[in-house]
Amino acid sequence: MLILLNEINISAAQFRKLVTLYSIGSTIIVVPAAITADAHQDAWIAALFGVALGIGLVLLFTSLGKMFPTLTLMEMNEKIFGKLFGKIVSAVFVLSNLFISSQVLYYVGNFLTTQILPYTPLTAIHIAFMGVVIVGVRLGIEVIARSAEILFPWFVGLFGLLIVSMIPQIKIEHLQPVFEIHPKAFIRAVLTFLSISSLTYTILLMIFPSHTPDTKKATQSFYIGNVAGGLVMVTLILLGILVLGPYYSQITMFPSYELGRRIDVGNFLQGIEVIIAIIWFLTLFFKVSLYFHASIAGLCHIFNVNETRFLTLPMGLIVTTFSIIVYPTIIYQKTWLAETWIPYSFFVGAFYPFILLIIGWIRFRPAKIKKIIKST
Average pLDDT over residues 118-140: 91
CB 73 within 8 A of CB 216: no
- Could you tell me which residues are beta bridge partners of residue 265? 269
CB 57 within 8 A of CB 19: no
- Residue 269: phi and psi, rounded to 5, are -90, 95
pLDDT band at 7 (very low <50, low <70, confident <90, very high): low
Average pLDDT over residues 102-106: 90
Is pLDDT at 262 greater than 80 in this prediction? no
Per-chain mean pLDDT for the chain: 85
Average pLDDT over residues 225-231: 92
pTM: 0.89
Looking at residue 4, its amino acid is L
**d(C-alpha 76, C-alpha 67), whole Å:** 10
| Lowest pLDDT segment from 94-98, 297-301, 338-342 | 338-342
Is pLDDT at 366 greater than 80 in this prediction? no
CB 283 within 8 A of CB 21: yes
What proportion of the chain, given as a percentage, has pLDDT over 70?
A: 92
Is pLDDT at 297 greater than 80 in this prediction? yes
CA-based angle 317:318:323, to the nearest 5?
100
H runs (alpha helix) in 197-351:
215-244, 246-251, 255-261, 274-302, 312-325, 330-335, 342-346
**d(C-alpha 239, C-alpha 237), whole Å:** 5
Q: Cβ-count burial of 216 within 10 angstroms (0-12 exposed, 13-18 middle, 19+ buried)? A: exposed
Tens of pLDDT, residue by residue over 184-204, are 888 898 998 998 888 999 999
More confident residue, 3 or 363: 363
Task: Identify the pLDDT of residue 251.
Answer: 78
Is pLDDT at 267 greater than 70 in this prediction? no
Strands 264-265 and 269-270: antiparallel
45 CB-side CA count, 13 A: 17
Is pLDDT at 58 greater than 90 in this prediction? yes
Give the chain's length: 376
**d(C-alpha 144, C-alpha 293), whole Å:** 10
Average pLDDT over residues 238-262: 80
pLDDT band at 374 (very low <50, low <70, confident <90, very high): low
Task: Identify the pLDDT of residue 290.
Answer: 93
What proportion of the chain, given as a percentage, has pLDDT over 90?
A: 34
**d(C-alpha 302, C-alpha 106), whole Å:** 27
Task: Identify the pLDDT of residue 291.
Answer: 92
Is pLDDT at 269 greater than 70 in this prediction? no
CB 193 within 8 A of CB 226: no
Is pLDDT at 308 greater than 90 in this prediction? no
Is pLDDT at 2 greater than 50 in this prediction? no
Is pLDDT at 376 greater than 80 in this prediction? no
Is pLDDT at 3 greater than 50 in this prediction? no
| Lowest pLDDT segment from 104-108, 169-173, 289-293, 294-298 | 169-173
